Amino acid sequence: MKRLDKSDSRERWRQVRDLWNEFDPIGVMGMEDWPRDEYESYLGQTLRLLEQDAPPEEIQKYLAFVTLEHMGLNETPQFEMSRRSFAKRLRDWYAEKWPGTHV
């Protein structure tokens, strides 16, 4: 695995934050004065899973824990599909932009 320098590490962090903000499970990113770091506490574990090449099911399990248990959101079939789609998007992004990297 390639160890990232500080600049690349910050860029990778910024990109995964942007992905979480687009996923926006609690729907606050459309609010004008809402902080852009709402999902910051989930970025580290997300990147660890991606660095470990976790299967999509493991990423989905983490996303379910975060959204259902931690955030207290209600499960719906649409929300489950949204998490699946987000897990795939995360894996695709990492495979394309940051394969074989770690901090």
- What domain range includes position 8? 2-102
Question: How many Cα neighbours within 13 Å face the side chain of 21?
Answer: 15
3-state secondary structure 43-76: HHHHHHHHHCCCCHHHHHHHHHHHHHHHCCCCCC
Q: What is the pLDDT of residues 33-49, one digit of tens each?
A: 888 999 999 999 999 99
Residue 103 or residue 50, greater confidence: 50
Q: Considering the chain, what percentage of its residues have pLDDT values greater than 70? A: 100
Give the number of domains in the chain. 1
